[in-house]
Amino acid sequence: QAQAGWLQHDFGHLSVFKKSSWNHITHKFIIGHLKGASANWWNHRHFQHHAKPNIFKKDPDVNMLHILVLGDTQPVEYGKKKLKYLPYNHQHEYFFLIFPPLLIPVYFQIQIIMTMIRHKFWADLAWAISYYMRFFTMYIPFYGVLGSLLLLTFVRFLESHWFVWVTQMNHIPMEIDCDKHRDWLSSQV
């Protein structure tokens, strides 16, 4: 799943084939049929991420839903506004108990399904259904329904830990702040 994640990422960036249509088709196949996700959902999140990296309310990779506070300014803002949803002074202790286990197996799965239905991404939904049909057709004969669901959850759980390590370790050392309305070029440097 993790390897398919990077593979779909490269196709999503249209960086594998010379023809962008081939990249689009292959991206839809990999993210839909091999991962059970939505190409449109991924593109929307990824375009936001590249347009305004590490900008609160713009980059979905640093939107922590009040679970974590990031950067140098957000903890200060939360302190001034007396926003205390969780014991943020202990977030270094609960980060790996909450964030990695729940990101892909729970949060992303709900968000992906809701996005496909709400925005009527029926082709993406068909690709995702093909993933689940293939997965359960392959594993129910060996593990039963419950065992197959547990396997799927465990695979997503492992992938989520890997994904969080890779993405957050790239974000955390960088400046994370509110939008300063800089032009695009200077915000990339």
Pick the range with the lowest mean pLDDT from 1-15, 41-55, 56-70, 146-160: 56-70
In this prediction, residue 189 carries a pLDDT of 65
In this prediction, residue 93 carries a pLDDT of 86
In this prediction, residue 187 carries a pLDDT of 66
Tens-place pLDDT, residues 34-74: 999 999 999 999 999 888 888 888 888 887 777 778 878 88
Nearest-5° Cα angle at 181, 175 to 186: 65
In this prediction, residue 122 carries a pLDDT of 98
Tally of domains in the chain: 1
- Across the chain, what does the average pLDDT equal? 89
Determine how many CB atoms are found less than 10 A away from the CB of residue 32.
Answer: 25
Tens-place pLDDT, residues 75-95: 888 888 888 888 888 888 888
Give the residue numbers spanning the domain of 8: 2-188
In this prediction, residue 10 carries a pLDDT of 93
In this prediction, residue 174 carries a pLDDT of 79
CB 3 within 8 A of CB 161: no
For 121-170, give the DSSP string: -HHHHHHHHHHHHHHHHHHHHHHHHHHHHHHHHHHHHHHHHHHHHHHHHH
- For residues 95-113, give the mean pLDDT: 89
